Amino acid sequence: MVAGAYTRKSTLMANYGWVQNSSNLSTVRDTVDLIPAQGLSHNELMRAIRDQRAARGNLPSRWTWDARCRIKAVCATGMAELDRPRQGYRLTELGTALQSAVRAEEQGRKRRPLSPEEQELFRKGLLTNPPVVRVLSLLQEARLEGRGPLSKYEVGGGLGFLGDPGFTHYTADYAAASGRGFDNMEGDADKWARTILSWLMQVGWVQGAPSVVLSGQSLARYSPVDGVDRVLRYQVRSAVKYVPQEMLCSAHHSFAGLIQRRRVALLEALAGAGRRSPGGGGE
């Protein structure tokens, strides 16, 4: 580690809510376990992740990038929230419950499966994340409309603020024609789709479907399991969504802070209009 790294004044990251890595929910659980009841600063959590990985003998050279992805995943799965005064993080009720949840047994070098208790908590946490709900809705809509399973590219095309800097997306045909392989040819939104699809498979809401071959390459596709319609109809509506300002515009934008504040104001105005309209919950 570079001398002095993550020992100075702590500051939050520029973006949250969109996760390109940390697709393993058991790894997210490991990170949640590092957050004490009183919370901690961003730098403290970065150092805790580094120490955890070093103790397990799997600290990569790019550990800081991976650690930031893990922190974003903890927030995106509903287990922690931003603590702005501390410039760090605090557990949600779900995160506190997850720390006490029974773990499934390790299976050698394979990904540790979630225990039923962990799976149920992650199900509740994932529904607080609008992009996760969007992915589940896209898959269900495709099934109902007879369009069949979707690939990460088709899902990625329906995510984020398309056209904004930092929200890139490729079509499956374009990725296939590039000759670089589907693992190496992804836009930002396609990476987010891949991560979210993995989470949804681990909690049992999405399943793998027959792949499609494009330019001689096999492309994975996904479909929702039976019962997802009830999740979208009832559970999604009752889940309180967590949308930090940093989720509303990429740091790649030249005026990210301004765009974020404008979009926050728009969401607040829409929420207020909903409360005042007939049937919107207002008096």
Task: List, for residues 48-86, the tens digit of each pLDDT value.
Answer: 999 999 999 999 888 999 999 999 999 999 999 999 999
Q: What is the pLDDT of residue 145?
A: 95
Write down how long the chain is.
283
Q: What is the pLDDT of residue 209?
A: 97
Cβ neighbours of residue 25 closer than 8 Å, sequence gap 6 or more: 77, 114, 118, 122, 199, 202, 203
Name the DSSP letter for residue 93.
H
pLDDT at 140 over 50: yes
Q: Which residue has tokens 């492309």?
A: 219
What's the average model confidence in pLDDT over 255-260? 71
Q: Which residue has tokens 């079509």?
A: 171
Q: What is the pLDDT of residue 279?
A: 45
What's the average model confidence in pLDDT over 223-231? 96
Q: What is the pLDDT of residue 117?
A: 97
Cβ neighbours of residue 32 closer than 8 Å, sequence gap 6 or more: 74, 79, 80, 91, 95, 98, 99
Q: Confidence class of residue 254 from pLDDT cuts 50, 70 and 90? A: low
Q: How many CA atoms lie within 13 A of 11 on its CB side?
A: 6
What's the average model confidence in pLDDT over 208-236? 95
Q: Which range has the worst mean pLDDT, 121-135, 142-156, 242-256?
A: 242-256
Name the DSSP letter for residue 23.
-
Q: How many CA atoms lie within 13 A of 214 on its CB side?
A: 19
pLDDT at 203 over 60: yes
pLDDT at 152 over 80: yes
Q: Confidence class of residue 260 from pLDDT cuts 50, 70 and 90? A: confident
Name the DSSP letter for residue 24.
-
Average pLDDT, whole number, for the chain?
89
What's the average model confidence in pLDDT over 195-224? 96
Percent of the chain with pLDDT over 90: 69
What's the average model confidence in pLDDT over 193-217? 96
Q: Confidence class of residue 277 from pLDDT cuts 50, 70 and 90? A: low
pTM, two decimals, is 0.89
CA distance 166 to 88: 24
